[in-house]
Structures are given as structure tokens and as C-alpha cells.
């Protein structure tokens, strides 16, 4: 009977996890590529590796993800779907490694709910869902960090050093995290692991030296603000989903109720050995270091803390899976778990599902590309991104080959300095409304000063604006 119930639980959890993963896959092309994903296109879909490296020398991030994406594009094609599919595959592989890590840490005697909980957190929680179908490096970073903790826990120094190198070259938060791990292992006199981490970070340090002119300039990371409560709230929202603070309060209340009436006994929350083996202690050291440094040079950015997931998922699964609850406690915990999963299934996909009003990071470049298909004399303060958007939309067969590329403000001025002026000019941009208008209005003012009259042709487009600017006939007389 017990074995049958356990099999039913495992099957049910597997179906839930598969449902989340397949829904993410179903939504892989549902929303437009946002600005960072288009930058990934511009960086990675180059003609050659040499061109790729030359461009990345002036970028904020290390090169591995973009190099992998370049090879992936050569293998399967360069399109929005293939861009995001690489992340979805890494998301699945990283989840498997985290579940295996939780299973290994729990041992053979007390697995209980450990493996099912690890699977639910690895495949269904908002952080993995959000980045599972995004053309950025985060899913690949999670996979490499999960492999690093896996091999570190096993004491296998050679593959651990390799995983350290891969994570460090994928994102600098991977470098920060594994430098902290090496320092921690050194303080515990685990010299083999310390040396492996030190050896693994050398390629990333070499890249920093290669790209130092840009990385140490004021441009690098200029969009990152200083530490604030908003940073904490945004990070919690990415980890817990909508209503993060009420949800955190609910989870804490649940623990209190289970402790008092549900039969929950004191757990191993301060088990230093467990926190060490899962990588939680090095992760905490990295967070403290990054936040402290951010008071002088801002580095702390909420989406970057996805690097903590490979340590947190196994340790939470082990600690919660150890719980021995009475019948009422199991029922109450099950209800809370279903409430949390429901909040992850619905609102957790909201930004990825246009049927729920989802617009990823408030960018709608795809719709601007479609609505201006076949037009000429197009100008935008975000011309490069719109050209990349046109390229991706053309690869999907959704627009025809552009008659002419988008021009930026400089190109617009150059065009207006020659005569005759074009009878119609199209101005467009996409992004959060306030920022969009701040950048687009100067272009509109320039053409209007020359006698153009601009009419909004956005047709209720959210997070985007398209203007048709026609030269008034009195300023363009017929000879």
C-alpha cells in the first residue's frame, strides 16, 4: 500500500512538472523577443567566431553563452524559436541535476518527499520558468552551477574545475559564486577543491583582462541601481512569484502551524555540513559580497540571483522532505502546496502568455516590425533592435525582406539634410511608455520643424508607437 501511494505521488509530481515544462515550451514563441534577447541575436548570430569575439570584447558578459549560441544557430538555424529552445533544453537538464543532487543528499533512508519537492521547485517555480524560454544565458548558467555543486559534493576535482570554468565563462555571477566557493573550501583546508576552483576561474579572469577596456569603464553595468528594498522585493518575486511578501508570510505561518499542531519536529535548518555540501554557504558569502560592493559599484541585479537556485532547491527539498507530519499536518501542507503551485501555474506564466496580457519586459519590437512591413524611410531611436527584430521575423516568414533598414537619429538628420525630402517618414519605437516617448519625441520634433505632420498609426499597440509623418503640401509645392 505504501509503495503504491509513493508511486502515485511520484507519477503525479512527474505529470505536474511535465505540464509546466511543456507549457513553457508551448509559449516559446508566444511573446516578442525583448531588447536583451535581440542583443543576444546581434551578438551571437555573427558570420564567424572571430567577428563574435571582436563584438563581445565590448560587452558586459563573458563569451561562452554567445559562443554556444553561435554554434547552435549554425546547427539548427537562427530564429526566435531556436534562440529560446537552447535555454529550454538547459532548463530541463539543470532541473534533472538539481533533483539528483537532492536525492543524493537525502540518502537512502529519509528521502520521503525530498525528490518530489526538488522536482517541483526545479521545474515549476517562477525563476526557472521565467528564464526557461528566454534567449539569455541564465538557464545555461544554472545548469553549469548545478553541475559544479554536484561534482564538488562528490569531491571530483577535475570535472568540478571544468564546471567552474564553464559557469564562470557563462556569467560573471558564476565567477563570483565559485570564487566564494574556492575561498570557503580553502578556509576549511579542502585544498583539492580550492585548487580546482582556482584553476577553473582562470579562463574567466583571462577574458576580463582581454575585455578590460570596456568592463572597467563607466558603461559596464550602468543600468544597475544601488542596493534597495526594491531589489529584495524583486528578487523574492522572481523566486516566489506574484505577491512575494504575503506568500513568504504564508510559508512562514505554515511552518509555525505545522510545528505547533502538525507534528513537525525541529529540522536541520542550521546543519552546517548540509549547507556546506549543497553550496548554500558559498552562495550566501557571494550575496553578501556582491551587495556590499554594490554600495560603491552597483553589481546586484535581481535576475542575476538565479545563480542561487542550484544550491537552494536541493537544500530546501532535503530539509522539507525530512518533515514527519501527522495526518492533519500532511493535509494542511498539501493544501498550501497546491495553493503555491496554482499561483505558479497561472500568474507564473503571465508575462510569457499574451493571452493573459503578457508583454515580456514591456517590449513589442515584433509588432512594430509587422506593422511596418514593406515600408521605407523608417527611423527609430532603437534602430539596431528593430533591424534585428526584422531579421528574426523574416526568418519565421512573418514579414517580407525589408526594403530598407531602420535608421537611427543620425541617419534621419542626414536624410533630412538632403533634398527633396521624402513625402512620408515613419517613426517608431518600443518599450516602457515613459522611456519610449522620451527617446521618440525628439525625432518627432525634428521632422515637424521641417513641415511634417505626424499621425499615430499604432492602432492600440501596447508598449510601442508608430508615427506616420507626411510632408505638408504647402511645403512641397508641385512645380
* Nearest residue to 384 (alpha-carbon basis) of 347, 346, 430: 430
Cell of 36: 536583451
Strand order in the sheet with 452-456: 378-379, 424-430, 464-471, 452-456
Q: Rounded mean pLDDT of 105-120? A: 81
Segment 155-159 shows an average pLDDT of: 95
Model confidence at 456, in pLDDT bands (50, 70, 90)?
very high
Are the beta carbons of 177 and 167 closer than 8 angstroms? yes
Helix (H, G, I), strand (E, B) or coil at 329: helix
Cell of 181: 566557493
Q: What is the pLDDT of residue 201?
A: 97
Give the 3-state secondary structure of residue 466: strand
Q: Which residue has the higher pLDDT, 204 or 43?
A: 204
The verdict on pTM exceeding 0.95 is no
Coil, strand, or helix at residue 107?
A: coil
pLDDT of 474 above 60: no
pLDDT band at 5 (very low <50, low <70, confident <90, very high): low
Grid look-up 537552494 returns 312
d(CA 242, CA 16): 20
CA distances to 11, 16, 115, 470 from 5, rounded to whole Å, are 10, 17, 15, 71
* Cell numbers representing residue 350 in the block: 503571465
What is the DSSP secondary structure assignment for residue 32, as one 8-state letter?
A: -
- With beta carbons less than 8 A apart as the criterion, state whether 160 and 196 touch: yes
Q: What is the DSSP letter of 232?
A: H
- Of 330, 323, 363, the C-alpha closest to 465 is 363
**In what helix (H) or strand (E) does residue 89 lie, and over which residues does it extend?**
helix 80-106
The b/e string for 38-52 (b: 16+ C-beta within 10 A; e otherwise) is bbbbbbbbbeeeeeb
Judging by beta carbons within 10 Å of its beta carbon (0-12, 13-18, 19+), is residue 187 exposed, middle or buried? Answer: exposed
The string of DSSP codes covering 244-269 is HHHHHHHHHHHHHHHHHHS-PPP--T
Catalogue the E-assigned strands of 88-131: none
pLDDT, tens only, 394-448: 999 999 998 899 999 999 999 999 888 999 999 999 999 899 999 999 999 999 9
Helices 202-210 and 191-200 pack at an angle, to 10 degrees, of 30
- State residue 268's pLDDT score: 64
**Least-confidence region, from 97-101, 325-329, 432-436, 472-476:** 472-476
* Contact assessment for residue 282 and residue 186, using Cβ atoms and an 8 Å cutoff: no
Phi, psi of 372 (to 5 degrees): -110, 15
Span 296-305, average pLDDT: 88
Are 303 and 360 in contact by the 8 Å Cβ rule? The answer is no
User: What's the mean pLDDT in 387-393?
Assistant: 96
Q: Specify the DSSP class assigned to residue 224.
A: P
**Looking at residue 132, what is its pLDDT?**
93
C-alpha cell at 94: 539543470
Pairing of strands 424-430, 464-471: antiparallel
Q: Helical H runs in 188-326?
A: 191-200, 202-210, 212-215, 229-240, 244-261, 272-277, 280-294, 309-321
Mean pLDDT of 103-107: 87
DSSP 341-404: HHHHHTGGGGGG-GGGT--GGG--HHHHHHHTTT--SEE-TTHHHHHHHHHHHHHTTSSPPPSS
CA trace torsion 180, 183, 184, 187 (10° rounding): -160
What is residue 479's predicted lDDT score, i.e. its pLDDT?
40
Q: Is the pLDDT of residue 33 over 90?
A: yes
187 touches 196 (CB < 8 A): no
Amino acid at each position: 500500500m505504501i509503495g503504491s501511494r509513493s508511486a502515485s505521488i511520484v507519477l503525479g509530481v512527474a505529470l505536474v512538472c511535465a505540464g509546466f515544462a511543456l507549457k513553457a515550451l508551448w509559449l516559446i514563441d508566444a511573446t516578442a523577443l525583448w531588447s536583451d534577447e535581440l542583443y543576444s541575436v546581434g551578438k551571437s548570430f555573427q558570420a564567424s567566431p572571430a567577428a563574435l569575439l571582436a563584438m563581445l570584447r565590448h560587452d558586459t558578459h563573458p563569451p561562452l553563452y554567445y559562443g554556444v549560441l553561435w554554434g547552435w544557430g549554425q546547427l539548427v538555424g537562427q530564429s526566435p524559436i531556436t534562440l529560446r529552445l537552447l535555454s529550454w533544453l538547459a532548463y530541463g537538464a539543470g532541473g534533472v541535476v538539481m533533483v539528483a543532487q537532492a536525492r543524493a543528499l537525502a540518502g537512502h533512508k529519509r528521502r520521503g518527499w525530498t525528490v518530489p519537492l526538488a522536482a517541483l521547485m526545479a521545474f515549476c517555480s517562477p525563476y526557472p520558468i521565467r528564464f526557461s524560454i528566454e534567449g539569455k544565458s541564465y538557464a545555461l548558467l544554472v545548469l553549469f552551477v548545478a553541475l559544479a555543486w554536484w561534482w564538488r559534493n562528490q569531491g571530483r576535482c577535475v570535472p568540478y574545475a571544468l564546471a567552474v570554468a564553464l559557469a564562470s565563462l557563462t556569467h560573471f555571477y558564476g565567477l563570483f559564486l565559485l570564487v566564494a566557493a574556492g575561498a570557503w573550501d580553502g578556509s576549511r583546508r579542502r585544498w583539492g577543491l580550492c585548487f580546482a576552483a582556482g584553476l577553473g576561474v582562470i579562463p574567466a579572469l583571462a577574458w576580463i583582462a582581454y575585455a578590460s577596456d570596456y568592463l572597467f569603464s563607466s558603461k559596464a553595468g550602468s543600468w544597475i541601481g544601488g542596493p534597495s528594498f526594491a531589489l529584495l522585493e524583486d528578487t523574492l518575486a522572481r523566486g516566489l512569484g506574484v505577491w512575494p511578501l504575503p506568500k513568504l508570510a504564508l510559508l512562514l505561518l505554515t511552518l509555525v502551524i505545522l510545528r505547533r499542531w502538525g507534528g513537525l519536529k525541529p529540522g536541520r535548518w542550521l546543519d552546517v555540513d548540509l549547507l556546506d555540501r549543497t553550496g548554500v554557504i558559498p552562495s550566501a558569502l557571494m550575496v553578501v559580497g556582491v551587495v556590499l560592493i554594490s554600495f560603491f559599484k552597483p553589481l546586484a541585479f535581481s535576475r542575476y540571483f538565479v545563480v542561487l537556485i542550484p544550491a537552494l532547491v536541493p537544500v530546501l527539498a532535503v530539509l522539507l522532505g525530512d518533515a514527519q507530519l501527522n495526518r492533519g499536518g500532511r493535509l494542511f501542507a498539501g493544501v498550501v502546496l497546491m495553493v503555491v503551485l496554482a499561483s505558479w501555474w497561472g500568474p507564473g506564466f503571465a508575462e510569457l502568455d499574451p493571452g493573459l496580457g503578457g508583454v515580456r519586459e514591456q517590449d513589442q519590437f515584433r509588432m512594430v516590425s509587422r506593422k511596418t512591413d514593406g515600408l521605407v524611410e523608417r527611423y527609430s531611436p532603437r534602430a539596431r533592435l528593430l533591424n534585428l527584430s526584422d531579421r528574426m521575423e523574416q526568418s519565421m516568414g512573418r514579414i517580407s525582406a525589408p526594403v530598407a533598414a531602420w535608421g537611427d537619429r543620425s541617419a534621419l538628420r542626414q536624410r533630412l539634410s538632403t533634398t527633396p525630402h521624402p513625402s512620408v517618414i515613419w517613426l517608431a519605437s518600443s518599450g516602457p511608455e515613459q522611456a519610449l516617448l522620451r527617446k521618440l519625441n525628439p525625432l518627432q520634433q525634428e521632422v515637424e520643424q521641417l513641415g511634417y505632420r505626424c499621425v499615430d498609426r499604432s492602432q492600440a499597440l501596447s508598449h510601442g508607437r508608430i508615427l506616420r509623418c507626411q510632408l505638408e503640401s504647402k511645403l512641397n509645392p508641385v512645380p
